[in-house]
Amino acid sequence: MKLMEYRIDAVVEAFSGAERVCVFTGAGASKESGLPTFREIDGEWKHYDPMTFATLEGFLSEPVQVWNMYRMRQRQIGEAQPNGGHSVIAQMERQYPHFLLVTQNVDDLHERAGSRKLVKIHGDCWGMRCLQCCETYDTRDFDFPAEFTTETLPICPKCEVLCRPDIVWFGEFVPDDAMHAAVWSSSTCDLMLVVGTSGEVSGGYGFVERAAMNGATIVEINPTEGILTQHAHIWVPEPAGVVLPKIWQCLTMYK
Ligand SMILES: [Zn+2]
C-alpha cells in the first residue's frame, strides 16, 4: 500500500499499532531549527571545501582552520533550539517499549529535547578525539578559546597529542557500536520513521530498505522527495516540526 497523498489518520494508525520503533533523522530536522545544512545544494559546503574541512588529510594539513570552522558550528548549534519534531521524537522513546533514534546529525538538538536512546552515526560536533589513543572528550569540559591558534589547539590530556573533531568524515566508517545498534533496530522494528533526510549520504547504509524487507511500516516526513521516498508506505511532505506535534496530538486523543 502506498499513500502518496497521505491521510493523517493513516499515520496515526501506523504509530498507534507499533511496538518496536526506529526513528532515522537527518539534516532536515536541524534545518527546521535554523541550522544550515552541509550537504544540500544551498548548504555550507558552498563556502567550505569539503576536502579540507571533512577529511582527515584536510585536517592534518590545516588543523587551525578546520577546528575554527567546527568552533563556529558549535556556536551556531548553541544558539539553535530544538523544534516540535525533536520534542515528539523524545516523547516517543518513553511511549514505545523498544525504541532507537538513529541520527546523522552531529548537533545536540535531540539530546536537548530529551532524547536518550540514540546513536549518532556521524559523530558529535562537541566531541574531540585523540589522534593517538583515540580517547574521546567533550570540548565543553575544557576552557578553550573562541578561536584556536597553533599554540592553543586541543591536545589529549593523556598523550599530549593533537585531538581531531569527533566527526565521521568522508572516506571514514561509522563506528562499529553505532552501526550495530542502527542495523539491529532497523532490522527488527515494526515502524520506521524517517525524518528530514534525502538519503543521499545515508542511502548506502540500507537501514530503510532493511526495515521494509522485514515488514516494517515506513513513514517518511520530509518536505521534499528523496531517494528513500520510494520505500515509504506513507510520505508526509511537510516539515516534521509542524506535522509531528499534530500526529502526536491525534495519537494521544486516539488512545
Ligand atoms: Zn590520547
- pLDDT tens profile 78-112: 999 999 999 999 999 999 999 999 999 999 999 99
- Say whether 36-79+123-167 and 1-34+82-122+174-255 share the same fold: no
Candidates 92, 111, 88; CA nearest to 100 is 92
The CA-based angle 134-104-45, given to 5 degrees, is 90
Asked if the 36-79+123-167 domain carries CATH number 3.30.1600.10, the reply is yes
Provide the residue type at 5 as one letter.
Answer: E
- Mean pLDDT, rounded, for 174-200: 95
Q: How many CB atoms lie within 10 A of CB 193?
A: 30
Give the three-class secondary structure for 159: coil
The one catalytic residue in 86, 110, 122, 233 is: 122
- For residues 114 and 185, what is the distance between their CA atoms, to the nearest angstrom? 20
Q: Is 98 a catalytic residue?
A: no
Q: Is the pLDDT of residue 3 over 50?
A: no
Q: How many CB atoms lie within 10 A of CB 43?
A: 14
Q: Where are the domains of the chain?
A: 1-34+82-122+174-255, 36-79+123-167
- Distance of CA 136 from the midpoint of ligand 1 (Å): 8
- Distance of CA 62 from the midpoint of ligand 1 (Å): 20
- Distance of CA 179 from the midpoint of ligand 1 (Å): 24
- Distance of CA 162 from the midpoint of ligand 1 (Å): 8
Read off the DSSP letter of residue 60. Answer: H
Instruction: Give me the percent of the chain exceeding a pLDDT of 90.
Output: 81
Q: Which helix (H) or strand (E) holds 136?
A: strand 136-138
Q: What is the pLDDT of residues 216-249, one digit of tens each?
A: 999 999 999 988 999 999 999 999 999 999 999 9
> Strand 191-195 relative to strand 217-221: parallel, antiparallel, unpaired?
parallel
Q: Is the pLDDT of residue 68 over 50?
A: yes
Give the three-class secondary structure for 106: coil
- Mean pLDDT, rounded, for 164-193: 96
Which superfamily does 1-34+82-122+174-255 belong to?
TPP-binding domain (3.40.50.1220)
- Distance of CA 156 from the midpoint of ligand 1 (Å): 5
- For residues 55 and 169, what is the distance between their CA atoms, to the nearest angstrom? 5
